[in-house]
Structure 1
Amino acid sequence: MYPDVHWHSQGLSTGCGKNGWEGRFLSGRADTVPGMEHDSWQSILDAQDGVVTTAQLRAHGVSATALRHRVVSGQWLRVLPRVIAVTNGPLTRPMALSAAFLYGGRAILSHRTAAEEWGLLRVDDPSAPVHITVPYNCSAVNQGPTVRSPGSPRPTSVGNGLVHGGVVVHRSRAFEHISVPFRRPRTSLADTVIDLAVSEATPREAALRFIEAATSGKVHVEVLRRKLEVRRPHRYATDIADAVMLLGDGVQSALEHRYALDVERAHGLPSGKRQMPHVVDGRILYEDVDYSPMGVPLIVRLDGQQYHSAQQSRFRDRRRDNAAELADRPRLVYGWDETTRDPCGVFEEVRRVLVREGWADMSRRCPACPRE
């Protein structure tokens, strides 16, 4: 095992199945260099997606002069400090991730990059930097984007000028406890959710991101609670703890989170029961917010028909509507637009129905409410 390759040993031991082994990396020029035609060299290329360190090149007999020639002539690409791609590009996403690993040394994917690998976020910007976390005493530092030299002997399109989006380096004293083994190790699902939230610009955005990521990743609330007990966020701790409480109360989406905070809590409305079960046509269906425990049979639905395009979902919603009508239960339906753009208007409608149905009005206007 070569000293620079220790990070991928777990990936090699798991074989080439679900962990994403992409097959043999073939380079038409790698085997033209003495010492690089051996199986050990091909194994490194396969394991690291055709990206290697300068130390590995030296170990296989590539001199500094030979390396410089292949980079200057455009045969190979200098991706990051001490990291070379034995191709003239463009780099695939696996190659970009492997390059960040090799640059960081002992590193794991984290933050947005880990979230993309977990499926919490879409990979929608190939030029974005790769986020890694390293042990606290590691010397790796952030790296900006790498671009092709304007005088490259191999012409390229403008869109192909970017070699690598760069690396954002995070440090953690809990490094040993936040990593999970994959071919490319990454932060655990719960740690990734926390990191995403802490990275947001404001406490409000942090809480929303936390709810979105936790529900998207189906992370159990108790797992999040335990993780937060041993790894307290360095900021937004109160807002994240409040988000965990709302998750425990049954909030299951960012829309439900906004309703709970901006409609109910901001205006002094009672907190409805989340995910209240009701039997419809012999099946148990769940209502987003049910005020029956407060003595008012009002149901507030926060998923609206615009979010339910599938025929089965539309049929389910119609059956829930009919069942509520037959049971003489009033219902209101809100989507993302009205809940986020006009929470005060939503509050007023909910308040009117609650009062009409017998609730003793204890609501209040928030600072954003229009004055009479």
Structure 2
Amino acid sequence: MPRTRTCRLEPLALARLMARQEGVISRSQVLELGGDDVDIRRKIRRREWAPVHPGVYVAHTGPLTRAQRMWAAVLLHWPAAVHRESALELHGLKQDRRRSRTEEPVRLAIDAARRTPATVPGIEVERLRDARSWLTPHHWPPRVQVELALLKVASGRDLAGAIAVLADGCQQRRTDVTRLLLAVERLPTLPGRAALVEVLHDVSSGAHSVLETRYLRHVERAHGLPVAQRQVREGAGGRVAIRDGKYAAQGVVVELDGRFGHSDALDRWADLDRDLAAAEQSLVTIRLGWAQVLGPCRVAASVAVILQARGWSGAPRPCGPDCAVRDRGQS
């Protein structure tokens, strides 16, 4: 007599699980629900399921969505969590518009105690010490905390790109500088950590001294611009303003804004008050942030044009062979 199968796949539990996982399921999950390999082969034969990776299946035969690609990667390397740019995507951060997200690999984190898995096209895996402690609770698919994802992404970029991604996270209210500073304390070997900590502390204190120093060294001095007065305290019309930099002879003020987070109404009013006070004195205000100062040659060229239009008889000098500034004294 043929042997009777005793396994029975629970259809309601299966439907609930696959709905939560965007229609993706693993072999181990099928077994946990009372199914077996015969059930899996039947689903594939009927074209209800299609293999994605070894032991991972999706409930259709067409192209996978981005969410299904993430689930398939997580289940292939289970236990695993979505990491880096992929995690930022799940956290709702709008970033990396340089290319389509569908072209991006799925980035995962697994615990460092595990062996490094075999390479699978379209999936990048990073081993993290005590990976579970970095997870955002009660989110599916599992993902690392937004602070770790931001810092890891930032560490792989130049300083301008790093500041841009951290600022995006704060401006889009996914985190703040205080939480980023707490997270970076747990990452003593993070590449580029010293520069990131310096900037985060500077932004947190509200001093913007790092930004001011970079403007002085890389924009002004490096390109032979006039020397601006620093932290000039002025009052006009009942207003008191402190200018980050003032080219008094040319009537030009430079304001350096190093804030990361959302600029609320009070911040905007403070900026407007400073600009109005400058306008009352016939001063031109140049307002610069991290994105501008970290492109020093381009900023220097623009500032030079403004200064020359208001009476500066000098000329900027290029800081190197590829500088955007052209020495007007050369042919």
Structure-2-length-normalised TM-score: 0.66
Q: Is the 8 A contact 1:135 1:173 kept in 2?
A: yes
SS at match of 1:170: strand
Query: What is the aligned partner in structure 2 of residue 172 from structure 1?
Result: 128
Deviations 1:22-78 (A, max 9, x none): xxxxxxxxxxxx833532222222332221111222344554355345436643221
Structure-1 residue corresponding to 2:49: 76
Q: Number of residue pairs matched? A: 295
Pairing partner for 1:206 from 129, 141, 162: 162
Q: Does 1:38 align with 2:11?
A: yes
Equivalence map 1:234-273=2 (5 Å): 234-248=190-204, 250=206, 262-263=218-219, 266=222
Q: CA deviation at 1:212?
A: 4.2
**Alignment counterpart, residue 154 of structure 2, candidates 179, 197, 201:** 197
More deviation in 234-243 or 76-85? 234-243
Q: Tell me the percent identity.
A: 21
- Pairing partner for 1:106 from 79, 91, 105: 79
Q: Which amino acid aligns with 2:186?
A: V
2:24 to 51, 63, 72: 51
Partner of 1:366, secondary structure, is coil
The residue number in structure 2 matching 1:128 is: 104
1:153-172 maps to which residues of 2 (within 5 A)? 166-172=122-128
Q: Is the 8 A contact 2:91 2:174 kept in 1?
A: no
Where do 5+ consecutive residues of structure 2 fail to align? 1-6, 258-269
Partner of 2:263 in structure 1?
Answer: none
Query: Which of 254, 279, 292 matches 1:300?
Result: 254
Cα displacement string for residues 181-218 of structure 1 (whole angstroms, at most 9, x for unaligned residues):
13223222221220111233x45543444444444446
2:285 aligns with one of 331, 337, 352: 331
CA distance in 2, matches of 1:353, 1:264: 17
2:185 is paired with a residue whose SS is: helix
> Which stretch shows the higher mean deviation, 67-76 or 176-185?
67-76
Offset at residue 241 of structure 1 (A): 2.5
Q: Quote the residue 2:65 is aligned against.
A: 92
Match of 2:260?
A: none
Q: Distance in 1 between matches of 2:91 and 2:216?
A: 28
Picking from 131, 137, 142, the partner of 1:181 is 137
The alpha-carbon deviation at position 318 of structure 1 amounts to: 9.0
Cα 1:364–1:179 shift into 2, 3 Å? farther
User: Counterparts of 2:53 and 2:131 in 1: how far apart (Å)?
Assistant: 23
Q: Mean alpha-carbon deviation: is it higher for 256-265 or for 50-59? A: 256-265
Distance of aligned partners of 1:235 and 1:300 in 2 relative to their CA distance in 1, 3 Å threshold? same
Deviation of 1:220 after TM superposition, in Å, equals 2.9
Sort the Cα spacing of 1:250 and 1:133 in 2 relative to 1 into closer, same or farther, 3 A. Answer: same
Equivalent AA in structure 2 for residue 187 of structure 1: V
Q: Please give the alpha-carbon distance, in whole angstroms, between the structure 2 residues aligned to 1:127 and 1:351.
A: 45
Counterparts of 2:294 and 2:161, CA distance in 1:
16
TM-score, normalised by the number of residues in structure 1: 0.60
Contact preservation (8 Å) 2:214, 2:293: no
Unaligned 5+ residue runs, structure 1? 1-33, 146-165, 304-315, 357-362
State the match for 1:348 in structure 2. 304
Match of 2:114 among 111, 135, 138: 138
